[in-house]
Amino acid sequence: MAFAHELSWSVSRSGTFATCRRSYYHNYYLSWLGWSWDAPPQRKLAYKLKKLTRLPMWAGDCLHEALAAWFEEKAGGRERDAAWVEAHALKALRDGYKQSRDEAAAWEKRPAKNIRLAEHYYGEPSVDESNDNAKEYGTRYVERIREGTRAFFEAPELERVRAASPEDYLACEELGTIELNGTKVFAIPDFAFREGDDVWIYDWKTGSPREQDLFQLAMYCLYAEQKWGVDPSAVRCVDAYLPSGQYVEKTFTIADLDATLARATESMAAMRAVHFDADAGMGDPADFPQIPADSPEARECRTCHFRELCDRV
């Protein structure tokens, strides 16, 4: 079945739109259909660059997947310990790094099925193995996974998560959708479960806190209301910054959720104003301005996957 291009929304997509319109264009429009053998070169390149990741993101993905596997094992009656989760995550981290470094040709052919780090693609100094750079850089994320795993199994703040019964699980790293203002909204709650009359939603974090994090939690609350029929007053949301041991628990008032819905509605309207059917053509990049190269915001370009397309390598 062929995919049809449509305007959808998520907190991460809104963040990209707010940060850099050109990156947004590359990510959601130019890359569309780039997987096709007969796609124009620009689309193929945009699609490949979209599939890049960075080591911090990859390390976070590896820990997320290992924790999801722990919940799956528990649901199957198999108790796994911290060593199992850590080994699961670190193997994925190292395998992905080696694949990125050694199998670039495989990624070029099938970018959606292989791992390629932007650090390798752009030849960044952080992965230079002729000195200690790569070792120091990699060790940072090995330790982040170890610290995150330790926190998951030892933090008192996560006792209810570890003790939750599988029959009370509602979601674990599952992509779901709801509809707001006639627009499909995507959400992926890291872990959600019922506890009595309450629903707890946890978002695992391996980086530093950002303003967008609470916005995401509020959207999860709206998601729970529509997806599971839960009264918002019964939803408890937690941002769990695992490596640093910070836990931000939040409940949302009706006023909070009204403000969240208004913010999402404003974002959707701004996106809709520049939306076009990418099935019909590649559009005009000028409608999606670049960040000025001499502005403070241009620091975003240093780690952007699409900087090759913007000649900012």
pLDDT, tens only, 44-69: 999 999 999 999 999 999 999 999 99
191 and 144 fall within a common domain: no
Shared domain check, 204 and 145? no
Quick one: tokens of 18?
């707010």
Are 55 and 105 members of one domain? yes
Q: CA 92 to CA 61: how far, in whole Å?
A: 9
Distance between CA atoms of 284 and 30, rounded to whole angstroms? 10
- pTM: predicted TM-score of the whole model, two decimal places: 0.95
Residues 197, 294: Cα–Cα separation, whole Å:
53
Predicted confidence band of residue 2 (pLDDT cuts 50, 70, 90): low
Query: In the prediction, which pLDDT does 3 show?
Result: 82
The number of distinct structural domains making up the chain is 2
- Please answer whether residues 288 and 21 qualify as being in contact, where contact means their C-beta atoms are separated by less than 8 angstroms: yes
Amino acid at 187: A
Same domain, 150 and 181: no
What's the token pair of residue 12? 């991460």
Strand partners, 246: 241
- 274, part of any domain: no
Distance between CA atoms of residues 97 and 115, nearest Å = 8
Are the C-beta atoms of residues 14 and 219 closer than 8 Å to each other?
A: no
Range of the domain at 125: 21-158+290-303
Q: 132, 154, 64, 61: which is closest to 100 by C-alpha? A: 61
302 and 254 in contact (C-beta within 8 Å)? no
Q: Which two tokens stand for residue 62?
A: 């590896």
Beta strands 191-195 and 198-205 are antiparallel
CA distance 37 to 39: 6
Question: Is residue 225 located within the same domain as residue 150?
Answer: no
Q: Are residues 134 and 174 in the same domain?
A: no
* CA 247 from centroid of its chain's CA atoms: 19
Q: DSSP code of 292?
A: P
CA-CA distance, 19 to 297, in Å (whole number)? Answer: 8
Structure tokens belonging to residue 220? 């999860």
Same domain? 128 vs 203: no
Instruction: Say if residue 42 is in the same domain as residue 152.
Output: yes
Tokens 């959707």, residue located: 268
C-beta of residue 45 within 8 angstroms of C-beta of residue 306: no
- Strands 235-241 and 183-187, how do they pair? unpaired
Do 86 and 188 lie in a common domain?
A: no
Contact 237, 273 (CB under 8 A): no
CA distances to 4, 18, 19, 46, 74 from 25, in Å: 17, 12, 12, 10, 41
Q: Are residues 172 and 138 in the same domain?
A: no
Percent of the chain with pLDDT over 70: 99
Q: What is the pLDDT of residue 313?
A: 86
Where are the extended beta strands (E) located within 106-228?
Answer: 169-171, 176-180, 183-187, 191-195, 198-205
79-118 pLDDT per residue, tens: 999 999 999 999 999 999 999 999 999 999 999 999 999 9
pLDDT tens, residue by residue, 26-35: 999 999 999 9
Q: How high does pLDDT run on average in the chain?
A: 97
The strand order across the sheet containing 8-9 reads 8-9, 183-187, 176-180
Let me know if residue 2 belongs to a domain.
no
Domain-located, residue 61: yes
Mean pLDDT of the 172-185 span: 95
Q: Is the pLDDT score of 263 beyond 80?
A: yes
